[in-house]
């Protein structure tokens, strides 16, 4: 995550018939789905896939608001301060669990939000530039170790998954690679393809497209098990990095104090939407495997994620901007 001084706000309102709302006697107030990411990102696609379908089930307008900035704090704070009445929810990424480890924020990621359901997860792939003489992670480690800090790896910014996953790899292998943080994915991709970076973690879908064109070489997937979306791509765990297991997951949350009946209704509706074959197809194209949960399971997952990130940040001495 990259701390930014400014914050943009993009709002998308799904068309809604107020006449139908009056006929059904339902609230005309829109439900806001707030994101800490920009338009076009995976959480944004998730939100814009869910919104019209939730609206159809509830006969109530749903609004997607993009509130990026301050490493996600702006969007998260908007939800933390919202009334717990069901009219404000957010979609988060697991990366957002780390924000309080790097920056002073006005909320607690574990106690100031109510878990609703897990949405799914996506895995990444470790890739290297074709000039690196490595066909798997064992060969990459053997090549990189004697070169120490001369080996550069990139990320879209400090404390992104791309950064934290590589620091986990460095901690596990003892490599001394140098991190080059960029302001977004595009410039990092440019330098990776140009050979100025030797390696990088990329979303699996992006990595596959680049690898097919011979622009990068895939060394393995980031989770212990192979992704069902890419069954032919081996994991780093099975190709030499024993025990390595890292993913990005997405969840839905409300403000603290959201009543149980509202939580349960959202949980049931979102599960129903995610069961639709068309929705699963859309998300699969984004590299997302659908996974749902109970609110309690999401809460436990978040706590486990936070504890693991805190341990890694401490042991790898990862700093904020």
The pairing of beta strand 62-66 with beta strand 248-255: unpaired
- Domains in the chain, ordered, with CATH? 10-122+248-316 (3.40.190.150), 124-221 (3.40.190.10)
CA–CA gap between residue 153 and residue 135 (Å, rounded): 17
Count CB atoms within 10 A of the CB of residue 291. Answer: 16
Decide: 2 and 157 in contact? Cβ < 8 Å: yes
Q: Enumerate the β-bridge partners of residue 120.
A: 250, 290
Please give the torsion angle defined by the CA atoms of residues 18, 20, 23 and 26, in that order, rounded to the nearest 10 degrees. Answer: -70
Q: What is the pLDDT of residue 8?
A: 37
Q: What is the pLDDT of residue 229?
A: 75
CA 152 → CA 114, 167, 172, distances in Å?
40, 12, 17
Decide: 165 and 201 in contact? Cβ < 8 Å: yes
CA–CA gap between residue 207 and residue 238 (Å, rounded): 18
Of 125, 129, 289, give the one whose Cα is nearest residue 203.
Answer: 125
CA 87 → CA 33, 74, 84, 185, distances in Å?
9, 18, 8, 32
Q: What is the pLDDT of residue 311?
A: 94
Count CB atoms within 10 A of the CB of residue 20. Answer: 11
For 196-225, write each residue's pLDDT tens digit.
999 999 998 889 889 999 999 999 999 999
CA–CA gap between residue 257 and residue 59 (Å, rounded): 24
Decide: 168 and 236 in contact? Cβ < 8 Å: no
Decide: 211 and 53 in contact? Cβ < 8 Å: no
pTM of the model: 0.84
Q: What is the pLDDT of residue 17?
A: 39
Please give the torsion angle defined by the CA atoms of residues 113, 46, 35 and 112, in that order, rounded to the nearest 10 degrees. Answer: 0
Assign 158 to helix, strand or coil: coil
CA–CA gap between residue 124 and residue 127 (Å, rounded): 9
Structure tokens, 228: 């069902």
- If the chain, 321 residues long, is cut into consecutive pieces of 10 residues, what is the mean pLDDT of each piece? 32 39 55 92 94 96 93 93 97 92 93 98 96 95 98 92 95 96 90 98 91 94 87 89 93 98 98 98 92 98 95 89 68
For 60-105, write each residue's pLDDT tens digit.
999 999 998 888 899 999 999 999 999 999 999 998 999 999 889 9
CA–CA gap between residue 146 and residue 149 (Å, rounded): 9
Q: What is the pLDDT of residue 246?
A: 94
Q: What is the pLDDT of residue 181?
A: 93
């Amino acid at each position: 995550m990259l701390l930014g001084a400014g914050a943009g706000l993009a709002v998308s309102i799904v068309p809604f018939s107020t006449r139908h709302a009056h006929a059904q006697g339902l609230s005309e107030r829109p439900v806001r789905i707030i994101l800490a990411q920009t338009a076009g990102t995976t959480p944004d696609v998730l939100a814009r896939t869910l919104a019209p379908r939730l609206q159809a089930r509830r006969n109530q307008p749903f609004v997607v608001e993009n509130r990026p900035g301050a490493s996600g704090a702006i969007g998260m704070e908007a939800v933390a301060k919202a009334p717990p009445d069901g009219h404000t929810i957010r979609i988060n990424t697991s990366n957002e669990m780390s924000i309080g480890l790097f920056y002073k924020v006005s909320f607690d990621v574990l106690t100031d939000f109510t878990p609703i359901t897990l949405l799914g997860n996506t895995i990444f792939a470790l890739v290297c530039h074709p000039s690196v003489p490595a066909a798997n992670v064992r060969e990459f480690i053997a090549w990189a170790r004697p070169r120490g800090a001369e080996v550069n790896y990139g990320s879209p910014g400090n404390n992104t998954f791309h950064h934290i996953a590589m620091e986990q790899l460095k901690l596990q292998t003892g490599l001394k690679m140098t991190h080059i943080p960029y302001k977004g994915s595009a410039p990092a991709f440019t330098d990776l393809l140009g050979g100025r970076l030797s390696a990088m973690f990329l979303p699996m879908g992006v990595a596959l497209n680049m690898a097919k064109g011979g622009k990068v070489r895939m060394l393995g997937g980031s989770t212990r098990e192979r992704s069902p979306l890419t069954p032919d791509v081996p994991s780093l765990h099975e190709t030499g990095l024993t025990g390595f297991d890292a993913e990005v997951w997405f969840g839905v949350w409300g403000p603290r104090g959201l009543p149980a009946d509202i939580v349960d209704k959202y949980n049931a509706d979102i599960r129903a939407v995610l069961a639709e074959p068309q929705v699963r197809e859309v998300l699969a194209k984004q590299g997302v495997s659908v996974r749902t949960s109970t609110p309690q399971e999401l809460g436990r997952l978040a706590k486990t994620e936070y504890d693991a990130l805190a341990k890694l940040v401490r042991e790898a001495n990862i700093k904020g901007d």
